[in-house]
Amino acid sequence: EAGVVQSPRYKIIEKKQPVAFWCNPISGHNTLYWYLQNLGQGPELLIRYENEEAVDDSQLPKDRFSAERLKGVDSTLKIQPAELGDSAVYLCASSATDRNTGELFFGEGSRLTVL
């Protein structure tokens, strides 16, 4: 069974440029998460979807970040414009239930460097 797939794996951009990340969750997983992980820190939740509905987006900086999950499957996370402090790994995860039981399956992440 395929795991969570993310792309691109690496992205280098200049500040003020836009960037987008894509995630394909495990088939049948209704819950999808975007996390941000800075070096030496644990993942921090940006947004959680139940199917196509964003049920927890309080940590998403909405002035520059946006996300969507059309048709409740794939998801994209966009940053526009990017700032130096956005350099981090963006992790997508999915889980089988909406009860947040604790077992999340993560993708390999998209590593963003903003110059």
Partner 1 sequence: RKEVEQDPGPFNVPEGATVAFNCTYSNSASQSFFWYRQDCRKEPKLLMSVYSSGNEDGRFTAQLNRASQYISLLIRDSKLSDSATYLCVVNSIRGSTLGRLYFGRGTQLTVWP
Residues that bind partner 1 (CB under 8 A): 40-45, 48, 55-56, 58, 91, 98-104, 106-109
Q: Closer to partner 1 at the Cβ: 19 or 104?
A: 104
Minimum separation from the CB atom of position 75 to partner 1 (A): 16
Minimum separation from the CB atom of position 27 to partner 1 (A): 18
Q: Closer to partner 1 at the Cβ: 28 or 40?
A: 40
b vs e for 70-88, b when ≥16 Cβ sit within 10 Å of the residue's Cβ?
eeeeebebebeebeeebbb
The SS3 of residue 86 is helix
Minimum separation from the CB atom of position 14 to partner 1 (A): 24
Q: Closer to partner 1 at the Cβ: 46 or 79?
A: 46
Phi-psi region of 23 (alpha: psi -120 to 50; beta: other; left: phi over 0): beta
Query: Residue 20, CB half-sphere, CA atoms under 13 Å: how many?
Result: 7
Q: Determine if the peptide bond prior to 61 is cis (ω within 30°).
A: no
Q: Closer to partner 1 at the Cβ: 80 or 101?
A: 101
